[in-house]
Amino acid sequence: MREDPAKLLVLRLRGSQAEMGRQHGRILRDRGGHEAAIDYYRDLPARLLFGTRGGGPLVSVLRRLTAPVLDLLLRRLDRDRPAPYRERTLAFMEAIGRDVADARALLVMDLFQNAVGVAGRLGLGPFAGEAAAPACSSLAVWGRASRGGGLGLGRNFDFPGVGIWDRAPVLVFCEPDAGLRYGFVTTRGADVAGVTAFNEAGLVLGSHTRLHREVAFSGLGIVDLVHDLARRAATLDEVVALARERPVASTFGIIVASGRERRAVSLETTAAGVAVVEPAPGEDFLAVTNHYCGPAATRGELAPCAGFGVNTRARARRLREVAARGQAALGLDGPDLARLLGDCVDPEDPAEERAAGSVVSQPTTVQSTVFKPDAEAIHVSVGPCPTGLGPYVRVPWRWTGDVGWEELGAEPEPETGIRAPCSRFASGPAAEAYARMVHAFRVILDDRDFAAARTALEGACALDPAEPRYRFLAGTIALREGDARAALAHLERGLATEGAPFRRGNLLLWAARAAHESGDAARAGEHRAALLATSDPRLASHRRAAEAEAVRPFPARRLRRIAVNFLAADVQ
C-alpha cells in the first residue's frame, strides 16, 4: 500500500537574496527534516557518474581518484555563479548549521551532465546505467486545449532521492528587494529555484535534464539560470533575451509558460547557445521531456542506452496525444493535468498500464505540480513516489503574509477537484508490487545491493505476475547475478504480455542471451530468429547483436557487469 501523505511546508521570505537564504535556513533549522537532502546530494556526483558498475575495489579506487577532480570542477562552476545567488546559498548553509562546502552540491546536475558530455565527446562511457536516465515530463495547455482557455501546466520532476523530495515537499514564496516576486517548489534542505519556479507575472518554468556533447565547466548553472528568469522576466520574449545574456554551462530543456500570453515555449540549452522551440502550428499545447527537438542540438545529443530515447519520446507522445484529444473536445482542466501526471499508459501498448519505461509516471517521480495562473492556484502533490498519484494540496498563488512558515495537510480543498488518479498502481497488490520495484531501484543506487534488489523484484513479480516491465528488470538482474535459468523464466513470462515493439525486441535479445547461458541453444536460436524477423528501426542494433551472437555468443563475463536502468527499463 502507498505511504501516508506528507505535509506541505509553505515558506514566505522577503529581502535581499542573502537575507532570504538566511530566513529559509533558520526556519529549517527550527523545523528539521533537512538533513537527508543535504547528506544525499553531497555524494551524488560520484554516485551518478559511477553508479554501481563493477562494484568492489575498482569503484572505490575510482571514487577516491576522481573526488578531487569533481571538487575542482564544482569549484569552477561555483566561481561563475552570480554573486547574489551564491551569497544566498552560503547564508542558507550557515543558518542551517552546515559546512559552506556543501553549497557546491547545488550544481550537481550540471557537473553530472557535463561529465557525461565530455565522456561522449571522447568516446568513453557509458556512465552509470542505473542512474543516468532522466525522466521529467511537463505539459502546458492553453486556448482550445484548455478548458476555459486559460493556461494550465502539469509537471513531473524525476530525480534520484526517492524518499527525500517526495517525503518533505516545500513551496517557497520570495519577495526580493530587486526584481519580480517569485516562488519555487523544492524539498527540505534545498534552497533551489532551478527545478520548478513561477512568478507574479504568471510565468511558470521547469527544467528537464538533457545529455549532449556541447558542455562547459564555466557559465551559468541551471539553478541560477531558472532562478534569474523567474526573478527578472515578465514575458516570453524577456525570458529568451535573458537566457541568452551569458553562456550556459550545461544541457537542459526548460519549459516556460505564460499565463498572461497564454502560450509556452521550450528553451534548449547547451554550452554552444540557447535555442527556442515553439509549439507546432495549430497546437495550443507544448510537451517537454528529456530529448532535444531543435535541429541544431539533436546532432550532438547523447543517450545512455537505447531505451532512453524510446522512453523520453514515448512520454512526449503520450502527453501530446492527451492534449490533442483535449483540444478536439472540451479542453483539459486542472484535474485532467493531475491525472496525466499519474498516467502509466505506454502509447505503444495502451491496453494495460505499465510500471516503468515509456510512461509519464516513473519510479523516480518525486515532485508533481499543477499550475493555474488564471485561478491563482498552485497544486502540489504530497503523496509518496510516484507523486503523480497524489493527493494534492492547493495553495493560493499570492505573496501575502509575514516572513514565516505554515504546514498544510493532505486533504485537497473541495473546490479544486484534484484527486488521485484511478491507476491500478494506486492501491492493492499492484501498489505493493510497485513499491517493491521502487525499493529495488533505491538499494541498487544507494547500496549497490543487487541481491536485495532481486529479492524485491521477485516479490513484485509475485504480486503482479503479468507486468512485463518487472519481468524484464528481474530477469536481467538475475542474469547479472549468474542465475540464467531464473532469468530466462522471467524474460519469457514478460514476452507473454509485452505488446510494445521495442520492449518485445529487448526481451527477445536478453532471453536469447539467458537461454544460451543456461545451455539451451535451441531456445536461444528461436529468440534470435524472432528478433531478426522484426522491422522496427529502433531495434537495428539489437538485430545486429543477434546476428553476431549466433556466431560468437555474448561473453559471460560481460553479463556480470551489465547495468540495469530502471527508468528506461533497459540494460547497457
Q: Are 135 and 362 in contact (CB under 8 A)?
A: yes
User: Mean pLDDT throughout 310-315?
Assistant: 96
What is the torsional sign of CA 78, 80, 85, 91?
positive
Lowest mean pLDDT among 5-19, 38-52, 74-88: 38-52
Nearest Cα neighbor of 460 from 477, 439, 437, 482 is: 437
User: Mean pLDDT throughout 280-302?
Assistant: 93
User: Mean pLDDT throughout 517-537?
Assistant: 97
Higher pLDDT, residue 226 or 162: 226
Cell numbers for 537, please give them: 528501426
Indicate if the pLDDT at residue 417 is higher than 70.
no
Mention every residue, 6+ apart, whose C-beta is less than 8 A from residue 265: 236, 239, 240, 255, 256, 276, 277, 278, 279, 286
Indicate if the pLDDT at residue 89 is higher than 80.
yes
Burial of 256-273, coded b for 16+ CB within 10 Å and e otherwise, reads bbbbebbbbbbbbbbbbe
Lowest mean pLDDT among 174-188, 441-455, 493-507, 541-555: 441-455
Q: Going edge to edge, which strands form the sheet with 273-277? A: 273-277, 263-270, 252-258, 203-209, 196-199, 182-187, 169-176, 8-15, 404-408
Please state which CATH number belongs to domain 428-571.
Answer: 1.25.40.10
Indicate if the pLDDT at residue 61 is higher than 60.
no
What dihedral angle (degrees, nearest 10) is formed by the CA atoms of 248, 252, 258, 261?
Answer: 80
**Residue 569: predicted pLDDT:** 86
**Residue 49: predicted pLDDT:** 60
Q: What are the phi and psi torsion angles at 53 (to 5°)?
A: -60, 125
Higher pLDDT, residue 449 or 551: 551
Cell numbers for 108, please give them: 550537481
What band does 447 get if pLDDT is binned at 50, 70 and 90? confident
What band does 564 get if pLDDT is binned at 50, 70 and 90? confident
**Residue 568: predicted pLDDT:** 85
**Residue 448: predicted pLDDT:** 76
Q: How many CA atoms lie within 13 A of 49 on its CB side?
A: 29
**Residue 261: predicted pLDDT:** 98
What band does 121 get if pLDDT is binned at 50, 70 and 90? low
What band does 487 get if pLDDT is binned at 50, 70 and 90? very high
Indicate if the pLDDT at residue 312 is higher than 70.
yes
Query: What is the chain's mean pLDDT, rounded?
Result: 89
Higher pLDDT, residue 531 or 363: 531
**Residue 303: predicted pLDDT:** 83
What band does 53 get if pLDDT is binned at 50, 70 and 90? very low
What dihedral angle (degrees, nearest 10) is formed by the CA atoms of 144, 150, 151, 156?
Answer: -90
Q: What are the phi and psi torsion angles at 388 (to 5°)?
A: -60, -15
Mention every residue, 6+ apart, whose C-beta is less than 8 A from residue 462: none
Lowest mean pLDDT among 75-89, 379-393, 517-531: 75-89
Crossing angle of helices 83-96 and 222-232, rounded to 10° = 110
Nearest Cα neighbor of 93 from 83, 84, 103, 85 is: 103
Indicate if the pLDDT at residue 526 is higher than 90.
yes
Indicate if the pLDDT at residue 336 is higher than 90.
yes
DSSP class of 40 = H
**Residue 54: predicted pLDDT:** 47
Lowest mean pLDDT among 51-65, 105-119, 324-338: 51-65
User: Mean pLDDT throughout 74-88?
Assistant: 87
Indicate if the pLDDT at residue 122 is higher than 70.
no
Pairing outcome for strands 8-15 and 169-176: parallel
**Residue 290: predicted pLDDT:** 95
What band does 302 get if pLDDT is binned at 50, 70 and 90? confident
**Residue 414: predicted pLDDT:** 44
Mention every residue, 6+ apart, whose C-beta is less than 8 A from residue 138: 153, 154, 155, 156, 206, 208, 255, 287, 288, 289
Mention every residue, 6+ apart, whose C-beta is less than 8 A from residue 29: 95, 96, 97
**Residue 134: predicted pLDDT:** 80
Residues of the chain with CATH 3.60.60.10: 4-423
pLDDT digit string, tens, across residues 230-245? 999 999 999 999 999 9
Indicate if the pLDDT at residue 147 is higher than 90.
yes
Indicate if the pLDDT at residue 413 is higher than 60.
no
Q: Which CATH class is domain 4-423?
A: alpha beta
Mention every residue, 6+ apart, whose C-beta is less than 8 A from residue 147: 326, 330, 331, 332, 333, 336
For the chain, state the CA radius of gyration. Answer: 23
Crossing angle of helices 540-551 and 501-517, rounded to 10° = 20
User: Mean pLDDT throughout 68-85?
Assistant: 80
**Residue 168: predicted pLDDT:** 96
Indicate if the pLDDT at residue 338 is higher than 60.
yes
Residues of the chain with CATH 1.25.40.10: 428-571
- 379 to 263, 393, 412: CA distances (angstroms): 20, 5, 9
pLDDT digit string, tens, across residues 270-279? 989 999 999 9
Nearest Cα neighbor of 248 from 124, 82, 43, 72 is: 82
Helices and strands per DSSP (H, E), number in the chain: 19, 17
